[in-house]
């Protein structure tokens, strides 16, 4: 069993039970971790709180050097981390190598941004005054991380939180805790004790006590809308700062000028990377009625060519889903669509040649509409539902016909359509011809029910800093506008 990491030490804490971690490609047990308790959260928060004052007062250069050292350690262990990610999470190792690169470069990016500035100087109201803005850390940040990108989405929170001067308690998903503990052992060991803590366990036993803890003023969470709403309801009476990146139901619109073959590859990548288990996965595809048959034929042909298998095999294009519960939910959406008239053009079931693991064929559907669950609710599975539109205005209306607003994709070289698309679509990220490509300096986050948090960029750093205005008058003298007014 791999122990938790609290106050610079590995410990089983108060746990009397273990959580088994399963390989989703083979269903084999990889390892186990402690089933954390509220008492373990108490210990981790206490350690983080004790470490906060010294960490926030650390010089910017020294803190940046420590974060750079974390990045170098991640780089040195890149191969082992990518392999462990593949074993516990399932996606192809090439995708996990990219995830590890994102982790180390995120720490590098915020190491530098953290020492770039702490605020700004304002033009003074008079010659004897000095006005400036200082951005300060909150204290202890609770980071609740999902299973689909267990290190990338951790780094997007932890790196800016630390760079801003906060300390953190990480609660990884109980399905993918091994890589977080690996980083604690091999990559975070240079940091002062208590600055980073990792507590494993289930949501009710560790996640909820972390949200409720009075000494945790910030909760950073990526996950489902339902869980985000629960966190918000718990945190509201304590006026906590919430950093919530919630669900998505992203659309891809293919314009009439798009090349069918290129569009097919773009859609397949956007919809099927990590078996569609990405918050920004394309889950709705809108095709122009004129020429739809060519796009449909190209997409179906391309999806049928993709290879399923273990993420450790270099030839694998798509790995398994994370678990049976998630696969069953996905299958229920496919069944609902079929029962309401949708047609399966490719896939539609479990692959017959893979009897172990939580695999599902990438599935292309036509004849879908917004009355179907698969076009309304988050799918989080390998589906490519195709719906036709008549005018580009209609395509934009369909794209916006959703409670989520995380991202949206347009495949086109028509400048007028591109301008109209990014002007009129209500989403936090708009991708033109290059779906799901993020930028370290470009803020990532959603609108509407996808939450209002922003990760990456300077906005990502400001999520973990609160603003203080200082008004300083050099002259300590009686001011004419003080009492009494009648003098």
11: nearest Cα among 42, 54, 40: 40
77: nearest Cα among 216, 207, 222, 184: 184
- The one catalytic residue in 88, 205, 245, 378 is 245
CB under 8 Å, gap of 24 or more: what pairs does 314-317 form? 314/93, 314/94, 316/92, 317/92, 317/272
Exposure string over 314-351, b if 16+ CB within 10 A, otherwise e: eebbbbbbbeeebbeebbebbeebbeeebebbbbbeee
- Structural contact between residues 162 and 156, judged by C-beta atoms closer than 8 angstroms: no
Three state DSSP letters for 414-446: CHHHHHHHHHHCCCCEEEECCCCCCCCCCCECC
Burial of 484 (0-12, 13-18, 19+ CB in 10 A): exposed
- Structural contact between residues 151 and 81, judged by C-beta atoms closer than 8 angstroms: yes
- The one catalytic residue in 99, 143, 205, 279 is 279
Segment holding 462, helix H or strand E: helix 457-462
Alpha-carbon span 87 to 75, nearest angstrom? 19
Alpha-carbon span 173 to 33, nearest angstrom? 11
- Structural contact between residues 333 and 381, judged by C-beta atoms closer than 8 angstroms: yes
Residue 245 known to be catalytic: yes
Angle, vertex CA 86, rays to CA 81 and CA 87, nearest 5: 100
Q: 């569609």: which residue's tokens? A: 276
445 CB contacts (<8 Å, ≥6 apart)? 245, 406, 428, 429, 451, 452, 453, 454, 455, 459
What positions carry a catalytic annotation? 245, 279
């Amino acid at each position: 069993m791999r122990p938790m990491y609290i106050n610079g030490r590995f410990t089983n804490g108060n746990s009397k039970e273990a959580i088994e971690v399963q390989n989703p490609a083979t269903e084999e047990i990889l390892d186990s971790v402690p089933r954390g308790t509220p008492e373990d959260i108490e210990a981790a928060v206490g350690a983080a709180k004790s470490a906060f004052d010294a960490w926030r007062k650390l010089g910017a250069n020294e803190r940046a050097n420590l974060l750079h050292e974390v990045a170098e350690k991640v780089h040195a262990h890149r191969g082992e981390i990518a392999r462990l990610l593949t074993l516990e999470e399932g996606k192809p190792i090439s995708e996990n190598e990219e995830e590890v690169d994102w982790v180390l470069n995120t720490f590098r990016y915020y190491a530098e941004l953290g020492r770039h500035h702490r605020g700004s100087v304002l033009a003074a109201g008079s010659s004897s005054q000095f006005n400036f803005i200082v951005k300060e850390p909150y204290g202890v940040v609770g980071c609740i991380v999902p299973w689909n990108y267990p290190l990338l989405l951790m780094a997007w929170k932890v790196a800016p939180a630390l760079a801003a001067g906060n300390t953190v308690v990480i609660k990884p998903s109980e399905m993918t805790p091994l890589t977080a503990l690996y980083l604690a052992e091999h990559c975070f060991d240079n940091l002062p004790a208590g600055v980073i803590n990792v507590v494993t366990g289930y949501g009710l036993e560790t996640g909820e006590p972390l949200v409720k803890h009075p000494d945790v003023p910030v909760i950073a969470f990526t996950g489902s809308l339902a869980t985000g709403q629960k966190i918000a309801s718990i945190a509201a009476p304590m006026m906590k700062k919430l950093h919530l990146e919630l669900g998505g139901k992203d659309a891809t619109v293919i314009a009439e000028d798009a090349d069918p073959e290129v569009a097919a590859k773009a859609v397949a990548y956007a919809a099927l990377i990590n078996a569609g288990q990405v918050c920004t996965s394309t889950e709705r595809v809108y095709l122009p009625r004129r020429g739809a048959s060519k796009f449909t034929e190209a997409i179906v042909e391309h999806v049928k060519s993709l290879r399923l298998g273990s993420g450790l095999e270099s030839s694998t294009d798509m790995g398994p889903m994370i678990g049976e519960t998630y696969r069953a939910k996905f299958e229920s959406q496919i069944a609902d669509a079929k029962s309401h008239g949708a047609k399966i053009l490719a896939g539609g079931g479990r692959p017959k040649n893979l009897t172990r693991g939580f695999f599902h064929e990438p599935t292309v559907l036509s004849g879908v509409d917004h009355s179907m669950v698969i076009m309304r609710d988050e799918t989080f599975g390998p589906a490519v539902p195709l719906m036709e539109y008549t005018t580009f205005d209609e395509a934009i209306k369909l794209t916006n016909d959703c409670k989520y607003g995380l991202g949206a994709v347009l495949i086109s070289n028509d400048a007028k359509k591109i301008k109209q698309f990014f002007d009129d679509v209500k989403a936090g990220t708009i991708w033109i011809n290059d779906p799901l490509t993020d930028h370290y300096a470009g803020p990532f986050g959603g609108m509407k029910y996808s939450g209002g948090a922003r990760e990456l960029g300077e906005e990502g750093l400001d999520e973990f800093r609160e603003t203080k205005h200082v008004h300083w008058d050099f002259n300590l003298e009686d001011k004419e506008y003080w009492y009494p007014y009648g003098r």
